[in-house]
Amino acid sequence: MQIDGAPILITGASRGIGAATARHLAARGAKVGLVARSAAPLEALAEETGGLALALDVADWDAVAGAVARMEAAFGPVAGLVNNAGLIDPIARIEDSDPKAWATVVNVNLTGAYNALRAVLPGMGARGTGVVVNISSGAATGALEGWSHYCATKAGLLSLTKVADKEMAPKGVSVVGLSPGTVATEMQREIKASGINPVSRLDWEAHIPAEEVAQAIGWLFEAGAARHAGTDFSLKTPEGRAEVGLPPRG
């Protein structure tokens, strides 16, 4: 797909990877739909990018379906989706975890991603074109202490990526995961504060900027998704960074 002029829906758009992606894609001519629970930062970002602020909880199916309808009324059929909304806090070992908080993370990270897919895939399939980028993690295949909710949902999201691609590839739609590594966002501050597992002990300088993830998402939309569809494309390897056009990590 061509980014210029394409309506692209971005969840978790109020900060971090989502906000950086909105700015990057809008600068390249995309019409961005911005989804998050916090209305004020969305409104500010919508004014900055010329996008549409859609304040909602992605775990609410009716709200997601309504937002897609609003976006399509404003910009036309959704051509791309960035499934980025995600939570990791509160971080706790299973024996110490709060069941309600654990379920909230599952509902946002996994059910929320399903809801967005369910809302856009019928139209993409009918038109025979579309790209979905699901923001994944090394946690999809690795076990990390204190992250039972996050690891479980990212593993589920990887399976969702594989199933969606198997179902939609014959219809011309590419579904791909992006595993960016650790990124300098508020989530890393939450991880640092937990003091649980080795990731919490990483220096801030070890994390890549969100703008690099945004560049990778742009590359997946225009070139990489068809090549890596049905998998998690990793930005953690020299080869992955080179494909995107990013410099090697020092």
What is the C-alpha separation between 86 and 156, in angstroms, rounded? Answer: 13
Q: Known catalytic residue: 114?
A: no
Q: Give the span between the Cα atoms of 58 and 40, in whole angstroms.
A: 17
Share of the chain above pLDDT 70, in %: 100
Residue 80, beta-bridge partner list: 8, 131
Our measurement of the distance from residue 178's CA atom to the centroid of its chain's CA atoms, rounded to an integer in Å, reads: 8
8 Å CB contact between 212 and 220: no
Convert the pLDDT of each residue in 92-104 to its tens digit. 999 999 999 999 9
Calculate the dihedral angle through the C-alpha atoms of 147, 100, 159, 172, rounding to the nearest 10 degrees: -120
Query: Is 133 strand, coil or helix?
Result: strand
Tens digit of each residue's pLDDT (9 = 90 or more) over 134-143: 999 999 999 9
pLDDT digits (tens, 9 = 90+) for 22-37: 999 999 999 999 999 9
Q: Give Cα 37 distance to the centre of its chain.
A: 15
Q: Give the distance between the most distant pair of CA atoms in the chain.
A: 49
Residue 183: its pLDDT value, please? 94
Convert the pLDDT of each residue in 41-52 to its tens digit: 999 999 999 999
Summarised one tens digit per residue, pLDDT across range 230-248 is: 999 999 999 999 999 999 9
pLDDT tier for residue 1 given thresholds of 50, 70 and 90: confident
Q: Reply yes or no on whether the pLDDT at 158 is more than 80.
A: yes
Instruction: Please report which confidence band the pLDDT of residue 250 belongs to, taking 50, 70 and 90 as the band edges.
Output: low
CB distance 108 to 197 below 8 Å: no
pLDDT (0 to 100) of residue 223: 86
What are the pLDDT digits (tens) for 191-238?
Answer: 999 999 999 999 999 999 999 999 999 999 998 888 899 999 999 999
197: alpha, beta or left? (left if phi > 0; alpha if psi -120 to 50): left
Q: What is the CATH number of domain 7-241?
A: 3.40.50.720
3-class SS string, 56-90:
CCCCCHHHHHHHHHHHHHHHCCCCEEEECCCCCCC
CB 200 within 8 Å of CB 191? yes
Among 75, 147, 150, 221, the one annotated catalytic: 150
Three-state secondary structure call for residue 35 = strand
Per-domain residue ranges of the chain: 7-241
Cα–Cα–Cα angle for 235, 237, 242, nearest 5°? 75
